[in-house]
Amino acid sequence: MAVLLDSSAVLAAADQSDLNHKAAVAWFGRVTEPLMIGALTLGELDLLLQRELGLRATLALLKSIGSGAVKVIAPTTADLVRAAELMRETTEYRPRLTDAVLVATAERLGVTRVAVFDRRPIAIFRPKHVRALEMEP
């Protein structure tokens, strides 16, 4: 089964000054399942990588995508409709579209695992296909 990537996991692996850097690098080094990243997460990650580390970090990510190590998943219209539903259900937590689409995409693809360090924004959602997403590392 594949693992969906949140921007916090990729950023931690790329940024040596990140408190979670060693854990992220170790996790990426041992994971054997296919890695996927949502198109919205990719856009968010570009902003974070360039702000924190510069263009070379984004180019390294694009190289991973180009090599097939990470597959980009575009949201469907149904994913966006489901994301809106998830956001309405959790309004009091000020949910972000990127996180809601990640959960909706996980539902559609039957993915149960997410690589994430910033867990709260995803943990607020209740996916339909599992009790809760497994958050790693």
Report field, pTM of the whole predicted structure over 0.85? yes
Q: Give start and end residues of each alpha helix (H) in 37-119.
A: 39-52, 55-66, 77-89, 97-109
Pair 19, 127: CB distance under 8 Å: no
The CA distance from 123 to 25, in Å, is: 23
Amino acid at 41: T
Percent of the chain with pLDDT over 90: 99
Res 1 pLDDT > 90:
no
What's the CATH fold of domain 3-136? Rossmann fold (3.40.50)
Whether omega for the bond prior to residue 34 falls within 30 degrees of 0, making it cis, is: no
Give me the residue spans of the domains in the chain: 3-136
Q: Using one digit for the tens of pLDDT, what is the confidence trace for 29-78?
A: 999 999 999 999 999 999 999 999 999 999 999 999 999 999 999 999 99
Positive or negative torsion for Cα 83, 109, 119, 49: negative
